[in-house]
Amino acid sequence: MPKTMHKTLVLCGPSGSGKSTLIKKLTAEFPTAFGFSVSHTTRSPRPGEVHGSAYHFVTREVMKDMLSKGEFIENAEFSGNMYGTSFAAVESVVSDDSKICILDIDAQGVRQVKVKEEFLQPLYVFINVPSMEVLEERLKSRNTETEESLARRMSAAKAEIEYGTTTGVFDTVIVNDDLDRSYNELKSFILSRISHIIS
């Protein structure tokens, strides 16, 4: 497969798949090559989350206004909270031609991105889990889930994995069973497909 000038790296996977950890490793190793698109959300900040860094925390009214103006590339609602990636957030990263914008989005978001591929020129990576049992253990170990929210996340994960492992939807699928191995696989794949990461 020839190397191309991708503008975005789309990472998708169920909550608990390790996407955030892989993104942190990638941006730590290649700080000048990647930029992270900061999403908007109506949910409350978790301890340690900073507005404008983790998310742009906004009211439902602000989010709905932005949606009505067509300001989002993708948006979704989960557990009563709205989430979205704005065109402005991505543009602020890709306006620097040497940077690739990382989008950490769910399957619903990927479906929306696929109709806007011309602007984004994305490379799609699905981060999977070794098993549903492992995923459940990872989510429980966070100590942030109630029985109800855990059940919702597991149900969402099942649908997400079904979509993520459908042939042709993603450019590659990486099973995150070992962080170092998974990261090396992700890095090798990206470097094989994106021409301007290493100058």
Catalytic residue list: 46, 142, 153
Cα 160–163–164 angle (5° rounding)? 80
Across the strands, what pairs with 102? 9, 36
